Structure 1
Amino acid sequence: MLKLNKDYHLTRRLVLFILLQMYWDVVLSQLHYIIPEESKHGTFVGRIAQDLGLDIGEINSRMLHIVSRDEKEYFQVNLQNGILFVKETIDRESLCPDTPFCIIPLQVIVDKPVQMYRVDVEIEDINDNSPVFSSSVTNLLISELRPAGSHFPVKVAADPDLGTNSITNYELSASEYFTLDFQKYMNQIRSLELVLKKPLDREKQSVHNLTLTAYDGGKPRLSGTTHIVITVEDVNDNAPVFDQPFYQSSVSENAVHGTLVFKLNATDLDFGKNGEISYELSNTIMEDVRDVFSLDIYNGEIRVKGEIDFEKTKMYEIHIDAIDNGDHPMVGHCKVLVTVVDVNDNPPEMTVTSLSVPVPENSPKGTTVAIISVHDRDSGSNGKVSCHISANDSPFNIIPAFMGDFSLTVNGPLDREKKDQYEVVVTARDEGFPSLTVSKTLKIDISDVNDNAPRFLQSVDIISIKENNPPGSHVYTASASDPDIGQNSFITYSIIDASIDGIPISSYMSINPENGKIFALVSFDHEQVTFFQCHIKATDAGLPPLSSNLTLNIFINDINDNAPTFSPLFGGLTIKTPKSSQPGHLVTKVSATDLDSGYNALMSYHFKDLNGKIPFVISQQTGEISLKRQILESDNDEYRLVVVAQDHGEPVMTAITQVYVSLVESGEELKFDHQDYRNEINEFSDANIYLVVAICVISSIFLITLIAFTVLRWQKYRDEVNDLKENYKICSNTGGSWMYSQHTQYRVCSNPTQGRNDLIVLTPNSSQSVNLEDYGAQQGYQPKHPNPDWRYSASLKAAMQGAVHMEGAAVLRGAAVGLEQQWPTVSSATPEPEGGEVSPPVGAGVNCNSWTFKYGPGNPKQPVPQIPPDFPENFIIPGSPAIISIRQDQPSAQGHKSNFITFGKKEETKKKKKKKKGNKNQDKGNNPTDNNDQ
């Protein structure tokens, strides 16, 4: 009994260890859901996105998906609300047979960035299976000699459900001879026996019919029945007996065939053949046990017959019958519990659950490339697995993530242009002895990013285009390369905006954006454009786009497309040459111009269509025509020379002109100088002709405008003079006479309607007389001012030199009143003028209606200017059509006199233009404009 208890505790510990191993996976999971088996499609499991803390709006874009170790996908996630639901109906009995806990491990993976979660779904058993006996009828043969209390094993019913849903009770139909006895191991009824309550009497009843019913503990309660037919035999009365009813043993998995597992020993108290014992496997054991173990019928040795796999079955329960050889054989029973010991016979299983390829070449360190799940069906240290990468120089690294899961991450810089694909060999190794490994090669493609700009073979290139090229002709092909691929290497070409003499370069050149072919949009003319630069830009289609530039130095080559041209003056030109000229005498020189350059513009000259022998020769290089011999009497008096100018281009182009040479006697006067004429011819060009024409046109327009303006002004002046005559009395009465005011100021009174440029001003001097240069110069009269620094202002000088001509007569009278408008003077350049100063109002212009006359510093009171006694009443100002008349009235009551100055029109007289040089100098000396500074 003590040994039985010891074995029972040992078995209990072993079972607890197995259960603890099963619970370990549950503890390590991040989420644990429980659902009943047989759940229909769409059954709610859990809000997986909410429980994992994922944003529902991102699970679709981040491609949330579930990976299961099994081939079937029992679950699915609704990407709209993040709910995990049942996809296929789950039968726990077929999925997890003989397992107390049925857990389906799931890997929940989201991308961008890659994240992985561990979720376990426990399948809860439901009572969906009724107890079932292996046969509907069980036949038992029991000797009548069997004493009361004898036990007869009966095959138990099978129920794939677990826990309370499995078989919890057996009931036997009412019988006075038999009762039912069963024992539970690990809350399960593993053995069932009929117990004889009292000895059988075959003479009373030889056959007993019983009904055995098995009940499970589920709701609703399910049951199964079998009929037991017991035949009473009156034979051998002692059955073989084992030394103990329960045995324990162990065997290593993968044990070879014939390995001894256990040796049984049974005894029978009978003698003879009734005591001879044979061993047989009970007909109550499962077929898989019969396939794995064999039993020696004579010695009771249990040996390995089939394949033992710890990963399939960890424990076997073998029922043994010991049968004697009596006429009525009697049977003894025992049980052998065989535990399978695990060995490291399973290499790790590697599965790539997520592979994010291709990997961008700019991926930072730590970017997850793949998630690798490694599982080892062994247990203990044999099931512990580690992963590593074989190559040491690989830019990738593998790190553990969760239990059995590893992440392949970027561990170094990636450059697709150097290497666009990696073969990473991932090796998984367990900790068994000897350790087992498995390797898997991952091909990781490196995707391109736009990290290389297009490159030209050279940044500067030179091309030449012949002028007169056809518009649209292909002149160059820009070619750039980009080591990137795909869109990042798609190059488009463009011309950078620039201008040539203010014209956009796009008007000259165009480029095909796809192949870089450059076309000339116009026909170039070397005579207009000889060189320009074109900047080509190559841009890829990456994000962001990268570009580089190419500078094209474009030269326009000249072709012979312009013929030489002579000046129009050479046409029909007649040159006179003395007959007495000596050989070598230069007659004339012709010159032709060519707009081309180089050899295309190099000229050579020769005569054409020569009739007879002429005494002239022409220099091919310079075009100089000279005498090659003496003039003979037989020579003609006039020659017509046809000169041909020829350039050196291909094809040769020419120009023709005619030169007439007249031979004259040496005594005749030449009408023009040959050398000057030749210089004029050489300097004369089309541009000069155009310039002369333009100047003539502009001058004509100016003269017409000036004449019209003069006519209009003259009409206006006549109207103003008439108005001035009518207003004369008003002006003289209000203005008073020439008087000296308290402020030593003089004001010219004029018609307010008169134009501003219709004023003539007479300035007083120190001798109280009017300074009129003509009169003073003729009479020797030299008036002096009190201060030698008297000067006019610059504005007044200009006004006096351009005095206005007036028709008719007008009187300007000085008034003794103060200045009505105080204007700042233009002649303020002198800080403190010592002499007198005449200033017009600033802003009013030179021809203003109000002028102010001042004397020196402080404006001391000066005597009223007086007219000299010998001053004529009428005199003429040189250069002016006006006649000035001055008269002086009697002194007024205040002692002042009024001086009247009258302007009248000067009579025109006809004078001859011939003057001697002395008279000119005298007139020049009497010009009033030369004495303005006095």
Structure 2
Amino acid sequence: MKYKSILLNALWWHHFFLLWSTIDAQTRYSIPEELEKGSLVGNLAKDLGLGLSDIFERKLRVASEAGEQYFSVDAGRGELVVNDRIDREALCGQSASCLLPLQVVIENPLQLHRMEVEIKDVNDNAPTFLKSDHVIEIAESTVAGVRFPLEMAEDPDVGSNGLKTYTLSKDECFTLKVKEIENGRKVPELVLNKSLDREKKAVHSLFLTAVDGGNPVKSGTSKITINVLDNNDNVPQFEKAFYKVDVKENSANGSFVISTRAADVDEGPNGEIEYSLGVHTHPSVQELFHVDAATGDIYLKRQLDHETQSSYRIDISAKDKGFPKMEGHCTVQVDVTDVNDNAPEIILTSKSTSVPEDSSSGTVVALLSVRDLDSGENGKVTLQLLKTSSFALKPSFANNYALVTNGPLDRERISDYSIEITATDSGTPPLVSTKMIPVSITDVNDNPPVFTQRCYNVYLKENGVPGSILFSVSASDLDSGENAKISYSILDSKVQDVSVSSYVYMNSENGSIYSMHSFDYEKLKVFEIHVQAKDQGSPSLSSNATVHVFILDQNDNAPAVIYPSSAALGSLSHQRMPRSAKAGHLVTKVTAVDADSGHNAWISYRLAEATDASLFSVNLYTGEVRTKRAVSEQDDSSQRLILEIKDDGEPLQSATVTVSILLEDALHEPISELRLHKASEPSKKSGRITLYLILSLASVSVLSLLTFVILAVKCMRSSRSSGSCCCSMRRQDSEDYKNPNRNLQIQLNTDGPIKYVEVLGGDMMSQSQSFRSCMSPMSEYSDFTLIKPSSTTDFKEVISVLDASLPDSTWTFESQQESSCHTHTHTFLK
């Protein structure tokens, strides 16, 4: 069945190419068959005089008239390339010429170019025999010189690649003769050189080899077995060696085709003849024809089809009934006559069947072609346009037409047309086919996209998953088709001096906005995204909208311990305490901050573990570690405390610090994390420093109160909200930290259970030392605790943490100090 399908297809192509052969092609390329996909055929853009940009803008494409798309256009290079495997034998069979007609369609405006691609044969098929074994019976009385026809090999290739000759293995009794018949076909014949002697050799085994003319040479082999028989010595002879007859393709099944006659001079059974199809007859021929065994008459078994195959060669065998049987042969050629049994077919070549309503008369709307598989007058077709005056058919070339406008169009009056085209051939009777071509009248782009809102507010929690959707905007367009297709984009803008495209990206098709990374409330609280909706019209129209994104704080920062300084000493703080300490003695104070805001930044302290839990306690809000009772002689001299610091967020975040306390006798100075850098300094100098600190705090307190009053009056007069004032102050704070100078800064914290003031001064970039003074009414030693100077780097890190963590109620005040002042920090605990 597969072989039959190939034959039918090949005959159809052969007829199709004969039909096209009368047309002069504008462009012709030649390529060998079996090229790989993507192989170059020719520079189509150059041959048509087009630039590479024209291929995209004018939508150039290739349409095959055979239906199968064997070629395509490489738009990037303007080249015609192979799109699928091309088998010349399947397309054109044994035809000497194999041409593939193509149509190059160029739209905007529509143009049609015709070209041909010649498929050259390559030697990709070896000669083959229908049967690999052939048995011949020859009587030993057969005289020398008698010829016996052998099976012909088939080679689908043509020209020099086709079958060239036959060779026979060596045998003293037989030689090979190759006879050439019409159409250049070669028939091998076995010639008896000398009389056979069955008693000497009853069986002869020969090998017949068919060789083609390709390079490299390919061949096929068939084994010939000759059985030597006795008796019957006359071969039946046909009246003609070759018969020829014409049969109409619409002849009914069982119709008579032709009579063949043979005679045998022998008498009796040796002269009685039986007719049959030759043993080498192709199965496709056996399915179509039948030979009467007694009369030699040939009949049709199935209806023929001229378009599938126009000619058949039948090998007829005549055998007598003698012993051994003698066999004669003749050839019958049946030519199939065409009748008008195929209606014409209208093929729409172009895809576009729409036209703007402002198109001028003569504008090409569609390209179409017509074909009829019949031949001669039966294949001549005329087209006619019915029931419309707004369009007309304009002949192009070789049964190709253009459907053009024939007058003004009005979309408001008629927006869609159904154009009926009829095709009629010249056969008897004529056959007719129709095709409906819908044509829509398009409008112009006069409506921009419109967002559902001009401004959108989006509230987003910090620490979201990168790539998650933030929001979706939507716009609509009153136009239709491409004019209503909307693409979304983000307009370039800056967020903290960085392009907004570094933060978010947008799906251009549905307007969804996605995050590029996780947002941090402590770094970015609000930003704007300017989006644009743009249609696909020409010229395109657009509109803009603004998306305000507000970042919501999450409890994602654990409390950070700033005293004892973990950067310098690790998580373990060493303290000393006299054994003479009474109940309520201040051992040390743990200070921590939280980078979050609001309730997420409220900090509480608790004693998680202790060597002796009955000896120490920690204040829930201040972090002060005090003795619960007086130290006794039985208490271990080394005590270890683990303090847990927790915030008030959800989920809860915590940190721990370990304090190691050494109980000593006769300790005459306050216990702290470390002594002063110069412990031997005179008490007079210490008292002077304390006086300076008290005076500084008093002056700063007055400045704080005065500044607070001024700011309150200013905010009340401002037309902005109170939040704007706070933001302005916080920006000022940030600038102060970024640009350190020799100023004294006081920070007042009124949020949460911990109340304290930080006094900061001096040049942040200098090598001056900083001190922290802690004052508590519960301390039994001193109102101030002096701590070892910290490095400039550590101080800046503490300031950075404090600036990020202090709530909105934090205010910063400045007073100019002398450049020679050291930096001090005073903390009041309430």
Return the TM-score normalized by structure 1. Answer: 0.46
State the partner residue of 1:210: 206
Distance 2:106 2:394 in 1: 18
Q: Structure 1, residues 398-449: CA drift from partner, whole Å, max 9, x if none?
A: 1221212221111122111111111111111111111111101111111125
Q: Is this contact kept in 2: 1:253–1:308, CA < 8 A?
A: yes
State the partner residue of 1:61: 57
> Which protein shows a greater Rg?
1
Q: Secondary structure at the match of 2:104?
A: strand
Does residue 275 of structure 1 match 2:275? no
When the two structures are aligned, how many residues end up with a matched partner?
447
Alignment partner of 2:404 out of 404, 409, 415: 409
Distance 1:242 1:544 in 2: 83
Letter paired with 2:419: V
Q: Secondary structure at the match of 1:45?
A: strand
Deviation of 1:356 after TM superposition, in Å, equals: 2.2
Q: Using a 3 Å threshold, how does the CA distance of structure 1 residues 138 and 448 change in structure 2: closer, same or farther? A: same
Deviation of 1:488 after TM superposition, in Å, equals: 10
Q: Is this contact kept in 1: 2:137–2:325, CA < 8 A?
A: no
Distance 2:483 2:159 in 1: 64
Distance 1:485 1:57 in 2: 27
State the partner residue of 2:44: 48
Distance 2:95 2:479 in 1: 57
Does residue 383 of structure 1 match 2:388? no
Alignment partner of 1:400 out of 395, 401, 420: 395
Stretches of structure 2 that go unaligned for 5 or more consecutive residues are 1-10, 448-477, 485-535, 541-830
Letter paired with 1:428: A
State the partner residue of 2:358: 362
Letter paired with 2:274: S
- Percent identical among aligned pairs is 44
Q: Secondary structure at the match of 1:213?
A: strand
Q: Is this contact kept in 2: 1:168–1:189, CA < 8 A?
A: no
Does residue 169 of structure 1 match 2:165? yes
Does residue 130 of structure 1 match 2:150? no
State the partner residue of 1:438: 433
Letter paired with 1:406: Y
Letter paired with 2:232: N
Q: Is this contact kept in 1: 2:19–2:375, CA < 8 A?
A: no
Q: Secondary structure at the match of 2:18?
A: helix
Q: Is this contact kept in 2: 1:387–1:406, CA < 8 A?
A: no
Letter paired with 1:238: N
State the partner residue of 1:28: 24
Q: Using a 3 Å threshold, how does the CA distance of structure 1 residues 60 and 319 change in structure 2: closer, same or farther? A: same
Q: Is this contact kept in 2: 1:417–1:484, CA < 8 A?
A: no
* Residues 416-565 of structure 1: pairs in structure 2 closer than 5 A: 416-449=411-444
Deviation of 1:203 after TM superposition, in Å, equals: 2.1
Q: Secondary structure at the match of 2:225?
A: strand
Q: Structure 1, residues 31-84: CA drift from partner, whole Å, max 9, x if none?
A: 111111111122111111211222333122101001113443221111222111
Deviation of 1:130 after TM superposition, in Å, equals: 1.3
Q: Is this contact kept in 1: 2:346–2:369, CA < 8 A?
A: yes
Stretches of structure 1 that go unaligned for 5 or more consecutive residues are 1-14, 453-482, 490-540, 546-934
Distance 2:79 2:66 in 1: 21
Q: Structure 1, residues 679-738: CA drift from partner, whole Å, max 9, x if none?
A: xxxxxxxxxxxxxxxxxxxxxxxxxxxxxxxxxxxxxxxxxxxxxxxxxxxxxxxxxxxx
* Residues 322-341 of structure 1: pairs in structure 2 closer than 5 A: 322-341=318-337
Q: Is this contact kept in 1: 2:15–2:307, CA < 8 A?
A: no
Does residue 285 of structure 1 match 2:281? yes
Q: Structure 1, residues 308-361: CA drift from partner, whole Å, max 9, x if none?
A: 000010100000001111122211100001111001100012221114232111
Alignment partner of 1:94 out of 90, 99, 118: 90
Q: Is this contact kept in 1: 2:291–2:299, CA < 8 A?
A: yes
CA RMSD, Structure 1 to Structure 2 (Å): 2.8
Q: Secondary structure at the match of 2:156?
A: coil
Distance 1:206 1:488 in 2: 89
Q: Using a 3 Å threshold, how does the CA distance of structure 1 residues 90 and 134 change in structure 2: closer, same or farther? A: same
Moved over 6 A (4+): 18-21, 483-489, 541-545
Deviation of 1:140 after TM superposition, in Å, equals: 0.9
Q: Using a 3 Å threshold, how does the CA distance of structure 1 residues 484 and 169 change in structure 2: closer, same or farther? A: closer
Q: Using a 3 Å threshold, how does the CA distance of structure 1 residues 71 and 296 change in structure 2: closer, same or farther? A: same
Q: Using a 3 Å threshold, how does the CA distance of structure 1 residues 438 and 232 change in structure 2: closer, same or farther? A: same
Distance 2:538 2:20 in 1: 50
Alignment partner of 1:231 out of 227, 233, 236: 227
Q: Structure 1, residues 98-123: CA drift from partner, whole Å, max 9, x if none?
A: 33322221110011110011111111
Q: Using a 3 Å threshold, how does the CA distance of structure 1 residues 204 and 405 change in structure 2: closer, same or farther? A: same
Q: Structure 1, residues 899-929: CA drift from partner, whole Å, max 9, x if none?
A: xxxxxxxxxxxxxxxxxxxxxxxxxxxxxxx
Q: Secondary structure at the match of 1:354?
A: coil
Q: Using a 3 Å threshold, how does the CA distance of structure 1 residues 303 and 486 change in structure 2: closer, same or farther? A: closer
Q: Is this contact kept in 2: 1:167–1:188, CA < 8 A?
A: no
Distance 1:152 1:238 in 2: 13
Letter paired with 1:174: K
Q: Secondary structure at the match of 2:287?
A: helix
Q: Secondary structure at the match of 1:409?
A: strand
Distance 2:305 2:253 in 1: 13
Q: Is this contact kept in 2: 1:355–1:369, CA < 8 A?
A: no
Letter paired with 1:77: V
Distance 2:67 2:342 in 1: 20
Alignment partner of 2:139 out of 118, 138, 143: 143
Q: Is this contact kept in 2: 1:22–1:101, CA < 8 A?
A: no
Q: Secondary structure at the match of 2:286?
A: helix
Does residue 241 of structure 1 match 2:257? no
Deviation of 1:95 after TM superposition, in Å, equals: 2.7
Q: Secondary structure at the match of 1:60?
A: helix
Q: Using a 3 Å threshold, how does the CA distance of structure 1 residues 347 and 233 change in structure 2: closer, same or farther? A: same
Q: Secondary structure at the match of 1:164?
A: helix
Q: Secondary structure at the match of 2:392?
A: strand
Q: Is this contact kept in 1: 2:362–2:405, CA < 8 A?
A: yes
Q: Structure 1, residues 191-240: CA drift from partner, whole Å, max 9, x if none?
A: 22111122222122211111111100000111111221101111211111
Q: Is this contact kept in 1: 2:32–2:119, CA < 8 A?
A: yes
Q: Is this contact kept in 1: 2:94–2:157, CA < 8 A?
A: no
State the partner residue of 1:678: none
Structure in which a larger fraction of residues adopt strand: 2
Letter paired with 2:122: I
Distance 1:307 1:406 in 2: 35
Distance 2:214 2:41 in 1: 23
Distance 2:67 2:15 in 1: 26
State the partner residue of 2:178: 182
Letter paired with 1:407: A
Letter paired with 1:340: V
Deviation of 1:450 after TM superposition, in Å, equals: 8.4
Alignment partner of 1:78 out of 49, 74, 78: 74
Q: Is this contact kept in 2: 1:26–1:32, CA < 8 A?
A: no
* Residues 305-324 of structure 1: pairs in structure 2 closer than 5 A: 305-324=301-320
Q: Structure 1, residues 539-579: CA drift from partner, whole Å, max 9, x if none?
A: xx99999xxxxxxxxxxxxxxxxxxxxxxxxxxxxxxxxxx
Does residue 350 of structure 1 match 2:336? no
Distance 2:348 2:419 in 1: 13
Letter paired with 1:75: F
Distance 1:146 1:106 in 2: 59
Distance 1:388 1:199 in 2: 74
Q: Using a 3 Å threshold, how does the CA distance of structure 1 residues 102 and 488 change in structure 2: closer, same or farther? A: closer
